[in-house]
Structure 1
Amino acid sequence: MEAGAQPYGGVTHYSGQMSSGLMIATDGIAGSWQPTPYLTDEQLKMDGEAHMGLWAPWVRSFLLKQEVLSRLYLKSIPGTTDDETPASLIVYHLQEDPPVPDHNDELGDFKAHSLIQMTRPTISDFQRQLDRVRDYADLRGDRFNEIHSQVGYPVPYFGTIVALHPERNRYTLEFLALTLAIASIISMRTKHAMACRRPDQLSAQVQPIIPTPGHGTLPGAHSVEAFVIVEVLSSILKLRPNDQRRKFMLRQAARISDNRVIAGVHYPVDSIAGALLGQTLGEYICARAGVEREGYAANVHIAAFNGPGVGARDFSLREMVETDHRLPSYGQRKSDPNGHLFEVDTGLPPIEPSMPLKWLFDLAQAEWSVS
């Protein structure tokens, strides 16, 4: 948080000497107190997106996180520890139905629309996944630098693909930071509900090369964050499914996901669940910003992750996104071609946009309109 303590947007913390100098200068130039004339006689429009630009970026972050998260509801369905009844979680979008006019002080009725349902793999599945974790470990020497530089948010790994620059694209970076914060919150809540043990909690031979995070393993939050970046940047830049930059970003997201398994802190199935959640959240956030995606099967796909029975199955981008350039669906999401581990579908009703969120998204998109 800025809180006036660090340089941010041209504002720095005042030293005692500066504050003293300002007091003396004010006495020297302002004269005796004159209450009029006032600089304005008008109030700002209440709750208007037009004055979002008056607030500091960290303030907008709080406002917009509330805008998005207030319409998401997570419902956990407890299972049993013996896996006889699998545990699952559903992420819903809450839509006012019918909409109530802004001038009405009554709260309308809300209808819940499922965005994604996730069902936990069995303990036997995770045990079988350990064989994959061991296989991935052979790449630790090759991926060492990537793994360490991707411990935080991996924005630079996507920025090099689309020529993202902090001076030219400050609103894009602000929107990405907002998106990643939302993705992290939903990831942590989902991890808590899924309550899945990390690889080093099932085998003493895993021995991760980075500290194991203090939260559950599924879904992989780095996968969620990486794939949410792909969807948001694709929408900001108006990339069609077959655009080369989107293809490279998808590959990068998959590589980042793999690196977490190589490091020993995740199973491949975490990447499958994380990619599915990240793509869905990315589509959803853009829909809340009023985006209409050209060339895609849907603005937001309904998704399901069915973990029981995954066994030793590996994560494969080719199974989640169409990679055959000869097909009209090239670059688009698809359901599991080898079973029912993950499913995506269309049919979600149009999502009501958030005008404050649209304000920031439009500014981000405008940054890319100058060639």
Structure 2
Amino acid sequence: MANSGFSYAGVQSYAGAASYAGAASYAGAASYTGGFSKEGYDGQPYNPLLVQGLGASREELLAGLSPAERSALQDLQQRLGPMPAFDPADHLMRANGIEVRAALLHFELLTQLRFGSKPITGHSGEHWAELQAASGPKGALKPLLRVSRPSQEFLLAHLQRVQALAPLRDSRTAEVLTQVAPPIAYFASVLNLQSGRHAKTTELLKVALQFSYAVCMRFKQALAVPRPSAFTAQIQPMIEVPMHPSFPAGHALEAHVSATLLGALAEAPGRPDDNAVQKQLLRRLATRISENRIVAGVHFPVDCEVGRLMGDALAAYLLAACEPVRRWRGASYDGLKLDLAGAGTRDFSAKGQAFEDEHGRGAPGWLPGPDLPMLQKLWSLARAEWV
């Protein structure tokens, strides 16, 4: 299955050709180390004939210029004006390619965070995994996410729910396979998002997904919860089991970040409630994407539950960083306090819920976002595609 087009390490996956690290990704063919970096002016791979041809053409063009014409070219250079201001956000789009912009934006976001852990009182060996994030113009660190893992007993009881959803595999096969990679197409279908009209929206969403992916992987590494199939041979997942821990669910986290971010972009100016039904559909889609990972046998329901909570908190933080009028607040999930009695029958439906004013504009206890001028620039360009 490792070389299958629909496996977790295959063509349509996070590690495959259509993924963050694959041929169509930041580190793949569309990057400095990939195919686009080897193209010449004609869109074809570099070759000695093209290099020689460009050199010969330059010599011939310049040889035919008079002194006055050469002086005119110098004047053209001088009209470029003085050097830009230091670290100009406006140059994000004009001076950089998409791969460089992605790297700059990821750096801008990740440098606002600090990750750590703290022991849980009364539980030997158990820790909180905690993420703090910068808030306000001075960048004071505030708790953004605080998560502890469930007990092994709770996870064993949760296996019943994973097995109970297995009969849905036949009806969900198409969704499961096409949602292994970031399922942007599903959100695009709800929003009528088109690559030509919404290029900056897509770029912003990919930055948000890569940021969310990095945060999720750090929590997975710290919390170290095995996959359902590690506990019993009865699960038999329908896709390749990812080579990283189970808790929290990355698909759930990223899907809810996508739903919130895209719903906010599509808001009418001054009328955020006008697309409430559309936001509800995005939310339901995110929940169904999450549930499909349980159906596939690679996640516990609790993985997706905490993934949703973390996704909502990260989305609020991202939006507060994009628009100063918005606010964010942290989220906490204590896995050790989950009710063991209801673990096997917990209702994890795909219905979802409509968004409320989850970003609490001006609400007490909500925090201002960090000052991230490059992210705010990309947000303004993406927002303009919907207004």
Instruction: Give the structure 2 partner of residue 102 of structure 1.
Output: none
SS of equivalent to 2:314: helix
**C-alpha distance 10-250 of structure 1, shift in aligned 2 (>3 A):** farther
8 Å CA contact 2:220–2:248 kept in 1: the answer is yes
Q: How far, CA to CA, are the matches of 2:147 and 2:312 in structure 1?
A: 14
SS of equivalent to 1:88: strand
Q: Determine whether 1:305 maps to 2:333.
A: yes
AA in 2 matched with 1:301? R
**C-alpha distance 164-198 of structure 1, shift in aligned 2 (>3 A):** same
SS of equivalent to 2:282: helix
Q: How far, CA to CA, are the matches of 2:199 and 2:375 in structure 1?
A: 15
CA apart distance, 1:319 = 10
Q: Determine whether 1:62 maps to 2:103.
A: yes
Q: How far, CA to CA, are the matches of 1:49 and 1:212 in structure 2?
A: 41
Instruction: Give the structure 2 partner of residue 135 of structure 1.
Output: 164
Q: Decide which moves more: 136-145 or 1-10.
A: 1-10
Kindly report which structure 2 residues correspond to 1:68-79, keeping only aligned pairs within 5 A, or say none: 68-78=109-119
**C-alpha distance 320-243 of structure 1, shift in aligned 2 (>3 A):** closer
AA in 1 matched with 2:93? G
The one-character-per-residue Cα deviations of 1:148-167 (angstroms, maximum 9, x if unpaired) are: 00001011110000110000
Instruction: From 241, 244, 260, give the equivalent of 1:231.
Output: 260
**C-alpha distance 111-320 of structure 1, shift in aligned 2 (>3 A):** farther
8 Å CA contact 1:269–1:314 kept in 2: the answer is no
Report % sequence identity: 27
8 Å CA contact 1:172–1:365 kept in 2: the answer is yes
AA in 2 matched with 1:57? I
Kindly report which structure 2 residues correspond to 1:301-340, keeping only aligned pairs within 5 A, or say none: 301-308=329-336, 309-311=338-340, 312=343, 314=346, 316=348, 321=353, 331=356
Instruction: Give the structure 2 partner of residue 361 of structure 1.
Output: 379
SS of equivalent to 1:77: strand
8 Å CA contact 2:198–2:385 kept in 1: the answer is yes
Instruction: Give the structure 2 partner of residue 145 of structure 1.
Output: 174
Q: Decide which moves more: 64-73 or 32-41.
A: 32-41
The one-character-per-residue Cα deviations of 1:190-248 (angstroms, maximum 9, x if unpaired) are: 10011101001111111101011011100000001100001111221127356111111
Q: Decide which moves more: 61-70 or 347-356.
A: 347-356
Q: How far, CA to CA, are the matches of 2:40 and 2:197 in structure 1?
A: 16
8 Å CA contact 1:129–1:268 kept in 2: the answer is yes
8 Å CA contact 1:269–1:315 kept in 2: the answer is no
Structure 2 stretches lacking a partner, 5+ long: 1-25
SS of equivalent to 2:279: helix
SS of equivalent to 2:241: coil
TM score, norm. by length of structure 2:
0.79
The one-character-per-residue Cα deviations of 1:127-181 (angstroms, maximum 9, x if unpaired) are: 1110000001110111011000000101111000011000000000000000000
The one-character-per-residue Cα deviations of 1:101-132 (angstroms, maximum 9, x if unpaired) are: xxxxxxxxx53211121111001111111000
Instruction: Give the structure 1 partner of residue 293 of structure 2.
Output: 260
Instruction: Give the structure 1 partner of residue 85 of structure 2.
Output: 45
CA apart distance, 1:78 = 4.9
Q: Determine whether 1:348 maps to 2:366.
A: yes
Instruction: Give the structure 2 partner of residue 25 of structure 1.
Output: 57
8 Å CA contact 1:227–1:253 kept in 2: the answer is yes
TM score, norm. by length of structure 1:
0.82
Q: How far, CA to CA, are the matches of 1:96 and 1:292 in structure 2?
A: 12
AA in 2 matched with 1:366? A
**C-alpha distance 30-93 of structure 1, shift in aligned 2 (>3 A):** same
SS of equivalent to 1:49: coil
The one-character-per-residue Cα deviations of 1:279-307 (angstroms, maximum 9, x if unpaired) are: 111111111112535xxxxx323211111
CA apart distance, 1:318 = 8.8
**C-alpha distance 310-220 of structure 1, shift in aligned 2 (>3 A):** farther
